[in-house]
Each structure stands twice: as C-alpha cells, then as structure tokens.
Structure 1
Amino acid sequence: MSVVFPEDVFACNSEKAALITDEGICSYAELQRHIAEWQEKLSSTVERPLVALAMCGNVDSVSCYLACLKSGFPVVLFHPGLSAAGQQALISRLTPNLLVADNSLTVKHQRCMPLAGELALLLTTSGSTGGGKFVALSRENLAANTASICSYLPVTSEDKTLLPMPLSYSYGLSVLNTHLAKGATVRLTSLTPMDRAFWTLLKDEAVTSLSGVPSFYEMLLRLRFDRQLLPELAYFTQAGGKLKEAGVKTLAEFADKYNKLCFIMYGQTEATARMAYLDPHTVLRKPSAAGKAIPGGKLSLCDEHGRLISEPGVTGELLYEGKNVMLGYVSDHTDLAAFSPSAVLHTGDLAFFDEDGDYTITGRLKRIIKLAGERVNLDGLEALFAEQGLEVKVAGEDNFLVTACRESEMSEAESRLKSLVSAPPAYLTVRAFSDWPLLGNGKTDYQAILKAGRDKHDNG
C-alpha cells in the first residue's frame, strides 16, 4: 500500500478489525475501500495537491490520511479542535489545495504548487493552537520510524491497542502507524480516565496495549490503575514528556507484579516521534532514564562549544542521528519546494549518559533563563520543589519567573520560592491553578502559565 503499510499486511488481515470506534468496526478490507474512495476524491483537482486534514479519531480521517500517503499527496494534519481563526491562519500560511474537515472536502484553489518530491507529511509543533512552525517529514522518515518502533515493541497482528491521543500529534500518529503496519487493531477513543466508560472499555474490550503522555498516566494512577486486574493488557508505553519518578516506579512495579511490560520512551516530532526507549527490565532500577537510541538511530552529547562529550555523567545537549530525522521546518508555503535535511538533529534537550550507556533527560536548553544575571534551569527548579513535596510548574523568561501551584499550596509555594531563588521580588510571582493548562498533545502549556503570571503581575 505504501512504504509504511505493505499491501500484504492489509490483504492477509482483510477480515480482521483495523479500526474500532464508538460507531462500530472497520475491517482491513473496508479500510482499503475507504482509502480508494478518498484517493479518487483527492485526485480530481490537481495532479499532486497539498491536503490539509482535520485529523479526527474516526474512520474517515484515517482513510483520508492513508489515501494521501498511498497517492503521494503531501498532507498537513491539524487538531480537529483548532479554532476557525487558527484554521484560517494555517490556510493562509500553507495555501493547501484541499481542506478536509468534518468529513467533507473543500477545494481552496487548483494552482499547481511547487512541492518537494520527498515531502509526505506536515505536523504542527504547537499542539492545538495552530501557531508555530511545521515539521516536514518524508515517506522514508515514516517508514524508518515505524519499522524501528515495531522492532522493539512487541506489536503483533493479534494486538488491540487503545489509542486515546490526538492523531494530529506525532506520538498518537506513530501508534496508529505501527499497529496498522503489523495488521493489529486500533481502538480509537476520545474518552479519558475520568470517564467511567473508559474503564469499561479497557476491561471489557480485551485491550492488549495502552499508550499515553504523562498527564494521562497521572490521571490513571490517581484512579488506582495499578490496582486494576487487566489480564489481557500485555504492555503499555509512555512518552511525550517526562513522567515523575514516583509515577514511573508505580507503573514499573505494577508491570512487574502482573507480568506486563512498561516501556518508557523519548522522542520529538522532529524525529518522526521516537528516538530512544528504556529496556522495560531496567525501568525499576532507572526510573528517571530515557534509555538508549532506537534501532537504526544514534544518540550523542555535545557541550556548549559543540564538542562531543565522551564521559559518563557529564551534561550536554542531546544529539540524534537516524533515517527518521525530519526534512526540516516549514514556516509557510515558500518552504515546501525543496529541503536540505541535516544528518544530525539538535534536540534542544539537556541530558547525560551513565556507565551503561543509558541517557537521562535533565531539562531543555530553552528552559534556562537569567534572573538578575543568574542562570536558572526551570526544569531543575521544578525538581527542587518536588523534592520538598510540592507539585508546581515553573515558566519564565529573562528577569521574570512564574510558579504555578494549587490554591491550597499558595503560601507554601511563595515561601519555598524565596528560599530556592535569590532574585528581586519584582522578578517573581506565584499563580494558583485548579488544573494545569495543557496543549492539545497533553503537555503542559508553559506559555499559558507565563501569560497568566504576567497578567497577575501587571494587574497587581
């Protein structure tokens, strides 16, 4: 069917369920028919259109996405919750020929666009806001990452995975890609652990694997996931940010007790979703680690002068090499005609490796600010608060730092902040939140925290 999804996988599993939604079951044979229908619709305008797709968790969206890959039509995926203004901004910047939203096709224009031959997919770097740059990925990127993930995760055609993440998000999309490539079943859902129906689905539909971001597992653990009897569940994966060490330990202990596998993984959209994973048998011993490079990839570190670091325990910027490294960034349609891919991806993450070669992520280069001339690592500051028993989120820019906390912990957060950070009071503010603001991909929205802190500070 494409370099990502071989034809024989669909043919060999024709009567099996490919997708299950709340509306029903779609077999591999039915999915193939839907793909063919979308190919016909999409090819009726220009020879090689650029397609913008509101990527919902339904059969139509998945079929349209797969039709684009099969036909060689570049497709930009965006969150279905993107506002009308956000959609308009995306269309203005990328000028797609076709817009697919709410399961309907709209022709925006029929001009032939200069599109690089290797371009297959565009993913946003900004969750559900529609701003920011786009990551350009090739068919080779998708095929390499899918094959690599399938080589270390025990995905088989007998699996049924529960996928609660947006498919416009690289992690959610990679789960879809890997399972369809293996002829497995993907159970799509918009339910969260806060919904009673989620637990019914997890228990009654014989789910064999589960994937999620830190906020998803935090919800699961608050609701005693580790005390559930889930005999069909064979393994679960966590990526999309760093889950707290205590949470990782609880998941690893649960996996160990009930003979399951817990995969802690690390990746970025710029690497088509995955760069590293931690051997599940190592998780209990190294709950903070991200592990080693995925098959076919290579990790290394460099210091602030660009020199490679060869000693264990020394922190530097994490670098990645592999066939899954993106073509490049895209700001608008003028960037789509040609790409000059870099062999090395500078991740912007700070990390070190240990004597076993396992890497641990310690923070972000861009999460370092200066307060009154002193460098402050925001991720490190969050960790210091956590060591003192306070769950906070810290955002900031030079000479301004916002500590987000729960209402009940406001005074304690203010007190701890003064003891941890030596900076003029005008540079510091504490803001209470009932829930952390999240991006569409489930990660903490630090820009929203920063803005809320600024508003409080400016309004007294």
Structure 2
Amino acid sequence: MFPHPEARLVTAGDMEGVRGDELAACVKRAADNLGKLRPGPLFCAMRNTLASVFCYLGAWHAGRPIALLDPELPAATLADLAERFRPAALLGFAHTLDGPPPPRGDVPDPHPDLGLLLATSGSTGNPKLVRLSRQAVLANATAIASTLSLGPGEIAPTSLPLHYSYGLSVLNSHLMAGGTVVLTEAGLLERSFWADLHAYGCTSLAAVPYQYTMLRRMRFDHSKFPALTTLTQAGGRLAPELVEEFSGKAERFYVMYGQTEATARIAVLPHDRLADKPGSVGVAVPGGRLEIDDEGEVLYHGPNVMMGYADSAADLARGDDLGGVLRTGDLGRLDPDGFLHVTGRLKRIAKVFGTRVNLDDVERMSRGSGPVAATSGDDRVTIWTETLDATSRVRLARRLASELRLHWSGFDVRGIDHLPLLATGKVDYRALESLT
C-alpha cells in the first residue's frame, strides 16, 4: 500500500501533520477531483508543500499520469511543453497559458502503466520527459527503504526539490516505509530550515555535492542535532575529503548513484564500506544489476528503469521501450566485489587538437583551485573558476596542458563570480556553454 498507513506528512510549523485515516481521506479527495478532469496527463508545479504532495498522491490513486515540473519554469518553456504533451490540466503554476490548454484532438490516451513523468536532468529550453511506470516508482521506493533500513521512526526534511528525482525518492521511500516527511521550502542557508530540523527531530538529511560544500563553509555542527543519525549523498561525485569529513558527522553516511531514468537511485555504498571502497558508489540496489559493456559504459538492469523518453503526447501511449535495461551514459568499472566506480561521462568528452579529453578528469585535476567546472569548445576546454586570479588561471592552464601533454592554448581558464546551478544543485553546464 502506498502510502503506508503509518506514514505522516508535516508542514513546517505544524507539529501534528496528517497521517493514517486523515491522510488517506485527503488523498482520496484529491483523487476524486483529479479523476473528473478530461483524459490526458496532468502537469503539476511541484513545490515542497502539502498541496503539491496531495496532487501527486491523488493522481497516483486516480490512475492519472502526472508530470512533476519545476514551478519556476519559464512561461515559454511551459507553453512549449503544453503544446507538445497536451495535458488535461496545469495545476499550481503561478503563470498560466494564454487561452485554454491545447485540445487533445486525436492524440491517443497515455499507456495504462504510465504513472509519473519527470523532466530529464539538467533540461532547459526544450526538455524531454522521462516516462516512469507505476511499478518502477514502487520498486525503487521499496529498494531504497530496504537498503537504508527505513521505518516508521524515520523523519526526513525536504532538503531537495520534489520535482527532482532524488528529492522525490526521499518522499517516496519514507511514505512507503511509514516514515515522516517534513515539508519545507526553506533552503540549507536559511535558519528556519535548521530550526525545523531540530524541532521535528529529523533523523536523516539528503544532499547533493554542492550542498555538502555549503555545509562545510557553514561549519555544520552535527552535535546540535542529536536525532540526526543518517546523511545521504547523490547527484554527482562528492570529493573524497568531503566524504571523509561528513562520514564522521553521522552514524551512517551513504554515498549513492542514480539517474532520473532509473526513477532515482541505482547503487548505494553501505556506510560500513566507506573505508575499504574509497571512490566507489556502491552496489546495485535490491532487484538491480550492474554491468560494464565493451566500451566501458555502465549498464543497469532493474525494475525501476524507465519505459523510455517522451518528446510529445503520442509518445505517452507507448509501452516499455527499454525492457528494464538502462544505458547510463556513464563510464565506469566494477571491482572484483561488484562495487561500481564511475570514471566519467561518455558525453563529457572534448577534443583538443584531435586528442580526446575527459572533462570530468579535467575538473578532478583542477580540484584545489576552488569551485570549478569544465566545458568544451572549438578545439579547446574552458575551465570556469570562482576564486583564481589572472596569474593563477594562467598557471592552472599550463599545469593541465603539461599533465595532459597538450599545448597550453587548448585550455581557456576563465573567472566567474558564481557557477550557475540548476535547482538540483548541479552545475548548469548549458548556461556556461552559452557564455563561450
């Protein structure tokens, strides 16, 4: 049953929240209302609020596929998505379309297995939607609840956006296990977030690498939050020194690896293997299997793999295109114990004077130079840095050239006030590329 009868939703400021029969009644009421809408997918501006969560759960119980979208989507992007996918309704958006939603016409109804639609990670302008079956969502929530030993006593805040697969995974896994989710729109830099973390006795905190960097700058003191026993990390590679630092600030620290295309999480590194498996992202979640193909690409097999992508309303009627096998686009290796080590991205490859250069390697080699990001250009790599002065930028370019045995002119090191970030906390590489 989803949610679990003991699951509880709490809005920051309300100590009681809703659970049990009251939660079930709220979800049923939302399902009844959404069930009256015309056929087609629903578009929800997914905020970290009770109203948004009821919309999501109501659609789930009404058997309506729902797209959970960034509430701050530009009006033009929302209009383009509506034109392509012909939603039955736009729910909770601050700006609405000019005129009524586009007619459905002769567009076929969505496939009966389709439960959830999420925008591809990092998408801007003209995003695809990831088609996730109801089985995939439940399978991943169950696997994570099992791996992290979640139960009714677990309490998690919404430290990430719920339209982001990692943030949604925290919600789903806790609701599946009968835990509590504290809904807050405050960020980690706001005092109210930490006040709520303490007031509700939150037992875990999920964060992406950039947030852990912020926590270090804030000199996060875990002793102020005695109930906080678990920290989890996904959304990109966390620097080894941060893994070591924050694993010492909690009883359990989990490094995780995932993709929206696998509903959320693919692999988890158990907290008791941090010391002997440095740099690994762990083993496949229960029910899943990892494989490395002849090109070095990481393949994942599991029930949580998406049905496929969608570019238009017609695609929503398609069944499962992938058969439970996801080509992740990541390069990696499996050690003799089956632990995955991700080494880069297939598409994060640049050519400098005819030589292939892994941009993830460039970023790792630049570590120690403050926050950096690498993008590709015409026969060169651009490295963006928040902290280096002109002299240090030249020095970094020459060092990279020497280590990679290329001419220094193939490396353009530029200063930037702040690296642009997506709502997920990841670097917005597209925004950087637009500046070159």
TM-score under structure 1 length normalisation = 0.87
**CA RMSD for the aligned pairs?**
2.3
Q: Where does the alignment leave 5 or more consecutive residues of structure 2 unmatched?
A: none
Equivalent residue for 2:353, pick from 352, 365, 372? 372
> How many residues get paired?
427
User: Which amino acid letter does the alignment assign opposite residue 263 of structure 2?
Assistant: T
Q: Which moved more, 1:228-237 or 1:239-248?
A: 228-237
Tell me which residue corresponds to 1:20. Answer: 11
Aligned ranges 1:54-93 → 2 under 5 Å:
54-93=45-84
Tell me which residue corresponds to 1:337. Answer: 317
Equivalent residue for 2:339, pick from 358, 361, 364? 358
Deviation of the 1:185 alpha carbon: 0.9
Equivalent residue for 1:209, pick from 190, 201, 204? 204
User: Which amino acid letter does the alignment assign opposite residue 364 of structure 1?
Assistant: R
Tell me which residue corresponds to 1:394. Answer: 374
Deviation of the 1:391 alpha carbon: 3.9
Over 3 Å counting, the alpha-carbon distance change for 1:30 and 1:104 in structure 2 is farther
Tell me which residue corresponds to 2:162. Answer: 167
Deviation of the 1:59 alpha carbon: 0.9
Tell me which residue corresponds to 1:241. Answer: 236
Aligned ranges 1:274-285 → 2 under 5 Å:
274-285=265-276
Aligned ranges 1:22-171 → 2 under 5 Å:
22=13, 25-28=16-19, 29-46=21-38, 48-102=39-93, 108=101, 109=103, 113-127=108-122, 129=124, 131-171=126-166
Deviation of the 1:130 alpha carbon: 5.3
Whole-angstrom distance in 2 between the partners of 1:423 and 1:85 = 43
Over 3 Å counting, the alpha-carbon distance change for 1:253 and 1:285 in structure 2 is farther
User: Which amino acid letter does the alignment assign opposite residue 214 of structure 1?
Assistant: P
User: Which amino acid letter does the alignment assign opposite residue 392 of structure 1?
Assistant: V
Measured against aligned partners, the alpha-carbon deviations of 1:81-134 in whole angstroms (never above 9, x if no partner) come to 111112111111111111112499997346574211111111001447353211
Tell me which residue corresponds to 1:457. Answer: none
Does the CA contact (< 8 Å) of 1:90 and 1:130 recur in 2?
A: no
Deviation of the 1:151 alpha carbon: 1.0
State the SS of the aligned residue for 1:237.
strand
State the SS of the aligned residue for 1:417.
helix
Over 3 Å counting, the alpha-carbon distance change for 1:31 and 1:400 in structure 2 is farther
Q: Where does the alignment leave 5 or more consecutive residues of structure 1 unmatched?
A: 305-315, 455-460
State the SS of the aligned residue for 1:248.
helix
Equivalent residue for 1:417, pick from 394, 397, 403? 397
Aligned ranges 1:287-298 → 2 under 5 Å:
287-298=278-289
TM-score under structure 2 length normalisation = 0.91
Is the aligned partner of 1:322 residue 2:302? yes
Equivalent residue for 1:438, pick from 421, 426, 429? 421
User: Which amino acid letter does the alignment assign opposite residue 374 of structure 1?
Assistant: T
Whole-angstrom distance in 1 between the partners of 2:222 and 2:82 = 47
Measured against aligned partners, the alpha-carbon deviations of 1:1-32 in whole angstroms (never above 9, x if no partner) come to 5xxx15xx22xx3xx74232346753123332
Equivalent residue for 1:220, pick from 203, 207, 215? 215
Whole-angstrom distance in 2 between the partners of 1:389 and 1:110 = 53
User: Which amino acid letter does the alignment assign opposite residue 250 of structure 1?
Assistant: E
User: Which amino acid letter does the alignment assign opposite residue 100 of structure 1?
Assistant: L
Whole-angstrom distance in 2 between the partners of 1:21 and 1:277 = 29
User: Which amino acid letter does the alignment assign opposite residue 361 of structure 2?
Assistant: G
Whole-angstrom distance in 2 between the partners of 1:193 and 1:403 = 27
Aligned ranges 1:293-304 → 2 under 5 Å:
293-304=284-295
Whole-angstrom distance in 2 between the partners of 1:366 and 1:338 = 27
State the SS of the aligned residue for 2:273.
coil
State the SS of the aligned residue for 2:363.
helix
Over 3 Å counting, the alpha-carbon distance change for 1:267 and 1:55 in structure 2 is same
User: Which amino acid letter does the alignment assign opposite residue 124 of structure 2?
Assistant: T
Over 3 Å counting, the alpha-carbon distance change for 1:156 and 1:149 in structure 2 is same
Over 3 Å counting, the alpha-carbon distance change for 1:349 and 1:287 in structure 2 is same
Whole-angstrom distance in 2 between the partners of 1:110 and 1:363 = 42
